[in-house]
Structure 1
């Protein structure tokens, strides 16, 4: 829960001096990216900006305290402040921030700016006390914020120090409005107004001016002078002389003498006890002081001018002036040292009663009360875990003596889950083992339910580490004993079981387990696992050859991402990449490329190594188009990443696929040989992950002429693919078998493999897998079409593949472009008939399309002319070539290409 007072504009105090000269400067804030009010404590930064903000609409206010150095807390409040300013316009960003479903703060800011692009009025965000931020990751995110914020948004920072946000650059570019200590110091006229509002006997102008000069216009000093003059017989001039030359660090003695020692003992106790609170309301005051009139006492302190401010328009929340608060806390530690733990306990209880466990934890830690801390954690820890308050939870668990922690096994389990959730996988089993040993040493019972919850987490670690047998054993044992109430662990164990079946090629068992995981996760609002289950279902369906069903499952996943605001999770990139792979298979290359680029956008704020697989997909899109130059650019980025990190085997498989296809198309045998020498040879290819890498190996072997070795690999791949019903893999394997047979002059076997591959493609929808094989595939398909050896659906697919090969891979010669024809006509071996009766450019184009296997109607469509026109062109070119039918024309074109050095 967010504390309302931190998002409220401070209410202007009574008798506040209206500082028109400064308000006039602030009136131009909308013309700047950043307005910085930067000066030491006590110069009236907050009061001034509150005066200005009172006349502004579309303004959000965020008051910081020390706890806001936690990035999750900081960004949740910042987005809430924007929501306050826009009346809830940025609901998507708000949901992401509340659920902590974003990769980095910069990524969430990017989403926020997308939503704000539709907001067209001036917008203001005030962040007070920015000097309290010491977390470099927040500073880095705010630098991103300033670089990319919409033009109509102005950020207003109030700070005692110069924030490390690239201020100099903004200043040079005239995008910064600054108000400094010199400008905020009170003028003589403002000091006169100030004293006139506060003293019973007005000062003469000369006296007030001298007082102002003595303290150099320091607003807090003027307030102290007025307070001292009201509470004692000492004159204002004496107070001024004492304050002259002081700064915030030297105020303690003065505040003791002139403020704290002059209030009655009850008020003194009240002030000191309340000082432990960063913000306070009636309910908290009652808890800390035992008084029933907390609101009344707060209002009385405000009337006395004792450095207390209202924090919201309702008047329910108050806070002390930062200087006074710091002073009071120091005095509280000295004067109430014995009582201080009890005071913090009372504060903790008060915040718990209001429903703010994170604030309660802050006071429980300060009290050093491990019992209270343990009780809060037992009641609220898992809710905080689900809201990604990971750093706070680790601080709490580390504060508990370990023997006390393991007395509550759920906390020991939570500690291990914290390590897992922060990708410190190596620590998880160590922590679980340590907890079990400590529990045995204390003779604590480890019941079956607890042991099962430990096993569920261990199973997750095992499957992440690529140990499916161990993961299966642990997950199975966990599911035997986990009650329905342990829903999170049951979701984990079920998911792991499905993954194990998937890894073992047991797809018929894996799919229902992942469907069950999805249903459980949705029911218990564990949407991360629901999305993971949908991704696994999609991969399984693709492996089974049901690409349309996989596509529809991906649609469900995209809906879940949108509904639950999961756009910034790495799993969203996984989903986009799966969609890209599927679209690539169907030769919808523009859409596939777009999905891969969106995946890279999701990963923009992650380490570059995460981009490897999306870059490989972009390379594959270029390869399918025959655009080797663009493919090379993507491949160079992949190569750079491969040399700068270590990757999971599945990541390498996907990257290697693009690499070996590229080497095949460019004839780079040296690169293929080097890769083949060093690449890992995986175990039995009983799942599509391992099938993919063995297929990469076979392709490299074929390129290098190692046909016997490749055939052994492909025979085993095909056998396993049939046995485990990996129909997409079988489809791909058959295409490689076809390539192998074709290159070894085993044309009958090549044709048989190709016909089966075309038949399987009616189930998978594959197009690009055929297209990337280029001219060798085109020649075989033309022969099958001409022999009328295919069923109707297969024939249609063959023609579509031929069209794509022609468009992307054979344009340099199949279209007989002008450059090719010019060289052809000057070749010494060109037939005399062609030299004396040259074809027109259009007739050469038609010949190229005939050679590519196009029908008359397809040629007409390709050249955008009438079918009757095409018939005329064909009749003319037949006459000029001296041929009588289509097959002779194909043979003549083939001879011409061979003469020009192209293999046919």
Structure 2
């Protein structure tokens, strides 16, 4: 049996007797059976089970509404739903035609219901039926075939017929589902009121499914309030990339995931657009190239949109659509500025209600035009009105600039070729720094890439300087900045402030913290010269200046001053419109607190930066990257290495900020070393040192790379290399002194190590404010002193100085520092159980009790055990299996087996228990 939905026929009903006249509506028009036919399904059909389920669920209630623009797939979705048999048995379909008079509509509706045997009570006995199709054959047919109660061609049925219809539906043995396609084609309030009356009084016997481009005139608010309406909107109908891929595959097309994503984005998920593209791609020699070169003004797409959408509008609306197509987002006042009329608000609202590829932007007065439709309109504008488009861009640029939408104004000015206006707006709005940092840097850079060279005035020179800085062309930046500064006057504080902000950013990029700090001080002073009303319109500017000043202090290694400036910058970011400086300040402040060892504060600020990035959809390479980087550093200090690795993987590429780039490399090196991959650790550090921006690294961060590399060489048992890499570092820095001492100790030179540590004196002593020497550096110095005492046979000194290091690290639980110090820490703690009990926050492998020394001479060791072998041996002593040791140390089981074999050889043992016993005798555990 053929499926009626696929053959284009509706469910069977009474047939007209041979030779009888066709049934007619009150208008005299014939009853067209084709309007009861469910549209046939195409050969390539994308199944959308979630939407089909929503239709099935919707007809459990009185009203279901499927609303979307032309080609969104409304009719196809309903036809698919009927074809799959998800509907109740009694289902009728009626396609409404534009221009239907009320009487014609009701005649067709009654005929549609008649096809499904819906009975209409004829009187008190209830005998009779609704019959609008046969020519006077039913008890309710008048002499001309009109349903009883119809009052005329243009009026429709009276209340009696509507009441009898509602009663007949109420008595139906099961609810009747009526699908009305293109219901919005009838603008009659009387028809909508009559339909609402029948729906309300049918006692659940009628379930309406309305398909249309605009909202029906039914009182939807009542159904929404009662929870009795199911709405499927354009956002639901849009194709996902997976839907698009299925459709292309059904057309015999195989393209890359990237091409599918591009096609979906270009069409905004518009079903008809994707289908038209698929047909065109079948004829194209290279479907992949078709997507890359896809233009909306291709004939198939353009013809559809022009015929179905643009030409369906009155001339004044067509003119508005063509003119506003030059703008990505449209405000009613902008529309009026582009048309010279005053009907923008009403026209845009009407277009949005009718789903004419214009939709409101949530929570604002702005409207968004479908990108394909906008492209078609712009092509049509150029054809219909040559030379008008640049003038419209020029007009839009000035309106947007006056509204404070600088990025959009610059885009319009660039499209108009008005480069001087674009540059002057960026400078006047204190926004020239946006070319270098923040979410607008990349799009603004692309917009201004075509700006011609040699434009007069300070504004174009400042813009060109910013562009050169964004491209890391420091020489070009300096030349254009000098050129701009030579043209600045005291009467233009906005331009002078812009130059100062660029000088701050340039000083940072050049690795000159002093120059950056001087420029930041100038910017602070110039803020007081800028008109207050201008600053009030741009609250991000003071926050940006404070953030830049704080970043300059961070580059200089002045952590306390940086924290103060950045805290002030965060506080200045209360007003709306400051997400970029807010997130940047929080990220930089998190980095400062991580360097200071204040892990809880660092974590709080990092999570704050991530929240700002998520709310504001800011680029992950910026705020989110620094946020994840800091959290990875915190996890590393806490010895939570698995979490640290996962977080570091979320950092999208090397950070642009030099301090953040060094921190990323150091964290990666520590994690690689812990995993037994010193080669990977060295590669991460050297990549940071060889980065083109490395010549701009502040001295203290360059020393940080050297300290980290020295630690990797010590893990490889190469104290000579560990000393060599520190050769150019400043030994007056506590972190460098501690690293030198560790290398000298590993080289067997404890006296030289103590002398190196003596050079820093009491700089890392107890009670010294942490904002002068970071806590991690203080801990490193005391750990080096403790290790020296241990090597020199001074157990009391080793215990005392280890206790000082533990006391400093305890508030923030800097666990990893003590694991990385070496196995001697565990031995000292083992000799002093009370000290171990006081610091239960340390990793368990450091808190095992001291071994019992055997009487007599200790067995000889063939070869010293490496730090990694000692770790494996310590895990084995806890009776962990090979797989458990591998999981604990984040290595493979085969690696553990290799280490165990080496341990057996070095300790002269034949099995694990014997190796553990010998190690305890030697004091290695």
Paired position in structure 1 for 2:845: 804
What is the aligned counterpart of 1:681 among 728, 732, 740?
728
Paired position in structure 2 for 1:516: 568
Post-superposition CA distance 1:287-317 (Å, at most 9, x none)? 788799999999xxxxxxxxxx964599998
2:507 aligned with 1:462:
yes
Alpha-carbon spacing, 1:468–1:651, altered in 2? closer, same or farther (3 Å):
closer
Alpha-carbon spacing, 1:23–1:773, altered in 2? closer, same or farther (3 Å):
same
Paired position in structure 2 for 1:50: 71
Alpha-carbon spacing, 1:522–1:731, altered in 2? closer, same or farther (3 Å):
same
Q: Does the 8 A contact of 1:612 with 1:638 survive in 2?
A: no
Q: Which runs of 5+ in 1 are unaligned?
A: 1-16, 32-46, 58-119, 131-138, 177-184, 186-216, 225-265, 299-308, 789-793, 817-826, 831-843, 851-892
Paired position in structure 2 for 1:731: 779
Greater Cα shift, 388-397 or 463-472: 388-397
Paired position in structure 1 for 2:481: 432
Q: Does the 8 A contact of 2:665 with 2:688 survive in 1?
A: no
2:42 aligned with 1:24:
yes
Paired position in structure 2 for 1:702: 745
Which has the bigger relative contact order, CA under 8 A and spacing at least 6? 1
Q: Does the 8 A contact of 1:459 with 1:472 survive in 2?
A: yes
**3-state DSSP of counterpart to 1:124:** coil
**3-state DSSP of counterpart to 2:42:** helix
Residue 735 of structure 1 deviates from its aligned partner by 0.4
Post-superposition CA distance 1:613-637 (Å, at most 9, x none)? 55753663576xxx654x4585376
Q: Does the 8 A contact of 1:142 with 1:165 survive in 2?
A: no
Alpha-carbon spacing, 1:677–1:504, altered in 2? closer, same or farther (3 Å):
same
2:735 aligned with 1:714:
no
The correspondence of residues 575-724 of structure 1 with structure 2, limited to 5 A, is 575-586=627-638, 589-590=639-640, 592-603=641-652, 617=667, 620=670, 628-629=675-676, 631=677, 635=681, 638=684, 641=687, 645=691, 647=694, 648=697, 659-666=709-716, 668-669=717-718, 672-674=719-721, 676-678=723-725, 681-683=728-730, 685=732, 691-717=734-760, 719-722=762-765, 724=772
Paired position in structure 2 for 1:887: none
Q: Does the 8 A contact of 1:361 with 1:376 survive in 2?
A: yes
Residue 600 of structure 1 deviates from its aligned partner by 1.4
Residue 519 of structure 1 deviates from its aligned partner by 0.6
Q: Does the 8 A contact of 2:504 with 2:552 survive in 1?
A: no
Post-superposition CA distance 1:123-178 (Å, at most 9, x none)? 61499999xxxxxxxx99935948999xxx9987454975999988999xxxx9xx
What is the aligned counterpart of 1:574 among 623, 626, 629?
626
Larger helix fraction of residues: 1
**3-state DSSP of counterpart to 1:664:** helix
Alpha-carbon spacing, 1:704–1:125, altered in 2? closer, same or farther (3 Å):
same
Paired position in structure 1 for 2:821: 773
Distance 1:704 1:739 in 2: 13
Post-superposition CA distance 1:764-789 (Å, at most 9, x none)? 4333322333431122222233xx6x
Q: Does the 8 A contact of 2:745 with 2:753 survive in 1?
A: yes
**3-state DSSP of counterpart to 2:239:** strand
Distance 1:364 1:734 in 2: 62
Distance 2:283 2:807 in 1: 64
Post-superposition CA distance 1:836-881 (Å, at most 9, x none)? xxxxxxxx9999789xxxxxxxxxxxxxxxxxxxxxxxxxxxxxxx
Alpha-carbon spacing, 1:121–1:746, altered in 2? closer, same or farther (3 Å):
same
Q: Does the 8 A contact of 2:507 with 2:513 survive in 1?
A: yes
Paired position in structure 1 for 2:583: 531
2:258 aligned with 1:142:
yes
Q: Does the 8 A contact of 1:596 with 1:617 survive in 2?
A: no
**3-state DSSP of counterpart to 1:731:** helix
Alpha-carbon spacing, 1:422–1:849, altered in 2? closer, same or farther (3 Å):
same
Q: Does the 8 A contact of 1:741 with 1:747 survive in 2?
A: yes
Alpha-carbon spacing, 1:743–1:488, altered in 2? closer, same or farther (3 Å):
same
Distance 1:363 1:845 in 2: 67
The Cα RMSD (Å) is 6.5
**3-state DSSP of counterpart to 1:25:** coil
Greater Cα shift, 161-170 or 751-760: 161-170
Distance 1:558 1:828 in 2: 56
Distance 1:129 1:326 in 2: 26
Q: Which runs of 5+ in 2 are unaligned?
A: 1-34, 50-67, 79-234, 246-254, 292-297, 307-314, 349-354, 361-366, 862-872, 880-913
Post-superposition CA distance 1:431-462 (Å, at most 9, x none)? 2211123x16xxx5565664344223312322
Q: Does the 8 A contact of 1:18 with 1:51 survive in 2?
A: no
TM-score, length of structure 1 as denominator length: 0.51
Q: Does the 8 A contact of 1:718 with 1:734 survive in 2?
A: no
**3-state DSSP of counterpart to 2:814:** coil
Distance 2:599 2:304 in 1: 76
2:790 aligned with 1:761:
no
2:494 aligned with 1:473:
no
Paired position in structure 2 for 1:14: none
**3-state DSSP of counterpart to 2:728:** coil
Distance 1:521 1:455 in 2: 20
Greater Cα shift, 655-664 or 473-482: 655-664
**3-state DSSP of counterpart to 1:27:** coil
Distance 2:664 2:730 in 1: 26
Residue 493 of structure 1 deviates from its aligned partner by 3.9
Distance 1:513 1:272 in 2: 49
2:791 aligned with 1:743:
yes
Distance 1:351 1:320 in 2: 22
Distance 2:381 2:263 in 1: 39
Alpha-carbon spacing, 1:845–1:326, altered in 2? closer, same or farther (3 Å):
closer
Q: Does the 8 A contact of 1:593 with 1:621 survive in 2?
A: no
Distance 2:341 2:477 in 1: 48
The correspondence of residues 541-556 of structure 1 with structure 2, limited to 5 A, is 541-542=593-594, 546-556=598-608
Residue 573 of structure 1 deviates from its aligned partner by 3.1
Q: Does the 8 A contact of 1:498 with 1:511 survive in 2?
A: yes
Distance 1:164 1:796 in 2: 78
Post-superposition CA distance 1:823-843 (Å, at most 9, x none)? xxxx9999xxxxxxxxxxxxx
Alpha-carbon spacing, 1:765–1:276, altered in 2? closer, same or farther (3 Å):
closer
**3-state DSSP of counterpart to 2:823:** helix
